[in-house]
Amino acid sequence: MKFFVDTADVDAIRELHDLGMVDGVTTNPSLILKSGRDILEVTKEICSFVEGPVSAEVVALQADEMIAEGRRLAGIAPNIAVKVPLTWDGLKACKVLAGEGKMVNVTLCFSVSQALLAAKAGATFISPFIGRLDDINIEGTDLIADIRQVYDNYSFDTQILAASIRTINHAARCALIGADVMTAPPSVIKAMAGHVLTDKGLEQFMKDWAKTGQKIV
């Protein structure tokens, strides 16, 4: 499973990138606001060192305007994935932009029917939002499994990009199901390294090592 980092914080992306934990980046208007930077400027900087897809989201609501914004964003770098919402106008924009050879990430997906439409429109990525489904007492990872089945049934090329990942259990479950990609905040990716038994075992090792009185260097 590929790891995308869901942030516009360049320093946080660089840290994970240096460890080989970054296969791509996703951003959205909320993350751009949090960064406090110009969308074109920060996206260009991210693309300067991240080789994989970098999603940059349009903010228009009408198809023609989405297409114009998508073309502008795609001009930043060859690895830009234009992010459009899963609306009828978003699907229209997806069809045009994908037809021009651009990567398109269709976002805010909450149903199998929506995911099916996105694949038919030529989406490179579909982004189902797991955490937001959990918020309304629907098991978000069930949607990932259902989309996986449908896409496999018909051999769609669209990649499942599990989004709104909030916990390490979300990440593990998506990997087990077979999501192509997950996008998560840096804090969640780092938390995946933790386990109470790892901490307990290390603590015991350190106590026993101290008793030996030895040094390695």
Active site residues: 83
Q: Name all contacts of 73-77 with Cβ < 8 Å and 24+ positions apart.
A: 73/40, 73/43, 74/102, 76/40, 76/43, 76/44, 76/47, 77/43, 77/44, 77/47, 77/48
* Contact (Cβ atoms closer than 8 angstroms) between residue 2 and residue 24: yes
Roughly how many angstroms between the first and final C-alpha of the chain, as a whole number? 38
Q: Please, which residues have CB within 8 angstroms of residue 6's CB and are 6 or more apart in sequence?
A: 25, 26, 27, 31, 163, 165, 183, 184, 185
Chain centroid offset of residue 74 CA: 18
